Structures are given as structure tokens and as C-alpha cells.
Amino acid sequence: MLHDRQKVFSCTQCDKCFSHPLNLKSHMRLHNAKFKCPECGKCCRANQDLTIHRRIHSGEKPFECTVCSKRFATKCQLVTHSRLHSGEKPYKCHVCQKAYRTSGALYKHTGVHMIDRPYECSLCNKSFCTPSVLKNHQHYVHSNRRSYHCPYCVRKYKYPQDLKFHVRTHTGAKPYLCGHCSASFTTCMQLKAHLLKSHNEGTWFTCHICGKNFVWSRDLKRHLLEHEDAKPYVCSECPKRFYRADVLKRHQIVHSDIKPYCCSLCDNSFADKRSVKQHFKKCFDDLGLTNILQLVRYSADETQ
């Protein structure tokens, strides 16, 4: 029942629908709420909820993270944020045991276990459980739009999270701290790798054939293919064979005129990602942007 979420419980006062009667009951209280925000008209069930909501308009953020000094409007937001530093993931999927920091992330994950996926992508035929997930898939996977601009340089990104990580290369921010030593990291993935390699904290993914250890399960899966004699993916243009379909796909670009990787600083295009990265660094230096970036960093340090 949990993984077959049909939104059959409808609100009689608006067009919202819910998959559980308790969610509908909670929603209905908003229509009868007595506490109304004078700024935007939103109704709250309790005066305390209204007080918290009004911080959106005032910009008040009374709760501060003791690790990175980031501030939040509610204690709940601070608790959720602190899990980035601690690595705590209290919400676990009972189907596959995968864990998440927030209940919302777990709820979104449960869609992968749903049998019914009626929303199909017209471009790749992949199916999804909700129209919103399909919309996100089409926007991020099939669109070339890069809506997220770096405020320090000309780089653009498809995903806000990629921009967030990139900006840290300019600011030098490393919010993920090791609890065993003074090391700090830009991403939680780097911290996880450090904890395993330096402090043996966590669980390695070990190859049962050669005993080689991996930090990530995806790397172990790729490694296991190397122990197989068969290379089922054959290039149609040359005799080369490959373990994985994605490697064959990247190889086939060599035989075509397609150059899908474009430099964001000039009009040059390249057949593979490694070439465009090497070119971008050279182009960055040739345009004198390295000195400008250093000045931006210096100015940021002076204002702090």
C-alpha cells in the first residue's frame, strides 16, 4: 500500500488531493485557520506557526549552526542542516534500507519501488510515478538549458547542487569537517571517502574475486565487469569491444562528427569531456581570468 500512492482523498474546498486521509485532515485545518499573515495572507493553525512563517518576510534567522555559522529561521531547519556535518541519516527505506537525511527525500525515493509508473518520457521511454518527477527528468536530462550562473565566473550549470559545489572552488568553503582530525572537505562524498581511507570508519564495498575495496557501490559494479571474459558491447565502426554500454557510447563519438562538449568561454566544441576540460583551463588562462578570479577572492576576504 505504501508504494502504490494513489491520491484519492480530495479537499472539498480546493483542488488538492492526498494519498492518505490523515494528510487531508491536516490540510483541511488550514481552511479553518484563525491566524492569518498580514504580509501574504497565508493562514496558520497556531500563533506559533504564524510567528515562524513571518520570519520569511522579516529575514530573521535566530538559529545558528555551530560548525559553519549558517543561520536558519527554525530549529527544525537547523537540525536538518546539522546532519550534513554529522552524516546522520535517520530516515530509512524499509524496502532497500537506503537512508536519507529528511523525510521528504525518503518519500521521493519510495517512488522507485512503485510498480505503477504511468508517466512516460516521450524522448527516452523512461517511466515515472508522478508527473512532477517526469517534468524534472525532461528538464534536467533532455534540456541543454543551464539556468544556474556562477556569480564569480562565466560557468553555467543545469543543476543547482552542481553550482553550489562549484562556488565553493571560488570561496574555498569546506563545511564538512572530520570528527577525528582537522581535515575539512567541500562535499559530504569527499568526507565519506576520507573517513573510510584515513580512519576506517564506514563500510567498504569489497570485490569477492580479488578483494579490492571501493568507497562507492557503483565503482564496485563497474569493477566486477572487468572480471568477466565477455565484452558484449561491440562498436559497429571498428573491432573494439567494451564492458559497458556507456563506454561504447562515448567511444562511438570518435567515429562521428558530433562534438557535444562546448567550451563556455569560446565557440570551440570537443568530442569528449576530458578534452573540453583541458581546453577550458587553457582558455581561462589565455583570457586573463585567473588574475581576475584572484582579485575577486582577495576582495571577498577583505570584506569578511
State pLDDT tens for residues 263-273: 767 777 777 77
* Whole-number pLDDT of residue 302: 41
Q: Pick from 237, 207, 203: which is nearest to 225 by CA? A: 207
Contact 91, 104 (CB under 8 A): no
Greatest pairwise CA separation for the chain in angstroms: 73
* Whole-number pLDDT of residue 288: 63
193-227 burial by CB neighbour count: b if 16+ within 10 A, else e? ebbbeeeeeeeebebeeeeeebbeeeebeebeeee
Strands 148-149 and 213-214: unpaired
Which amino acid is residue 191, in one-letter code? L
Strands 261-262 and 176-177: unpaired
Q: Which are the contacts of 228, defined by CB distance < 8 A and separation ≥ 6? A: 243
**Which residues of the chain have a pLDDT value below 70?**
1-8, 29-34, 114-115, 229-230, 264, 287-304
Strands 63-64 and 43-44: unpaired
Q: Retrieve residue 172's grid coordinates.
A: 574555498
* Whole-number pLDDT of residue 32: 65
Beta bridge partners of 157: 148
* Whole-number pLDDT of residue 282: 80
* Whole-number pLDDT of residue 37: 80
End-to-end C-alpha distance for the chain, whole angstroms: 53
Alpha helices, DSSP H only, in 124-269? Answer: 131-141, 160-171, 188-199, 217-226, 245-252
User: Could you identify the residue written with the cell 573517513?
Assistant: 195
Q: Pick from 110, 101, 91: which is nearest to 19 by CA? A: 110
How far are the Cα atoms of 11, 48, 101 from residue 23, in angstroms, in the given order? Answer: 10, 21, 21
Alpha helices, DSSP H only, in 69-199? Answer: 75-86, 103-109, 131-141, 160-171, 188-199
> In what helix (H) or strand (E) does residue 273 lie, and over which residues does it extend?
helix 273-286
